[in-house]
Amino acid sequence: MKTNNHKTNSFSKIYCGLFGHNYIVSKKITYHVKEYSCSNCKHELTTNGSGNLVELSPKFREINDILSRIHKKKITRLSRNVISPTVYRMSS
């Protein structure tokens, strides 16, 4: 006995096989790395270090999590760098 859910899922896969996946950005990790999810079959992709699209495996999910944390720190540091020269000039 097959469940409805299974049927829908395999239909989505056939649809994607015929017409291609309909990927939408699900998460922005850095300026260059993003996570994509197919709106039909929920298949997930990500950009790897070389800029190619690869399947979003648990390992890549972990890497992206670390990347996103580093990226957020970088942004905080950059905004501090922009402010500090002004403060330096004003005080001298």
Residue ranges that bind Zn ion, judged by CB under 5 A: 16, 21, 38, 40-41, 43
Which of these, 67, 61, 3, 82, lies nearest to 30 by C-alpha position?
67
Residue 51: what are its φ and ψ, rounded to 5°?
Answer: 85, 10
The string of DSSP codes covering 9-40 is HHHHHHHHHHH---EEEEEE-SSS-EEEEETT
Q: Which is nearer to Zn ion, 57 or 76 (CB)?
A: 57
Q: Name the residue nearer to Zn ion (CB basis): 16 or 67.
A: 16
Minimal distance, residue 17 CB to Zn ion, in Å: 8
State which residue, 40 or 48, has the beta carbon closest to Zn ion: 40
Amino acid residing at 75: I
**Closest distance between Zn ion and the C-beta of residue 7, in Å?**
16
Minimum separation from the CB atom of position 49 to Zn ion (A): 24
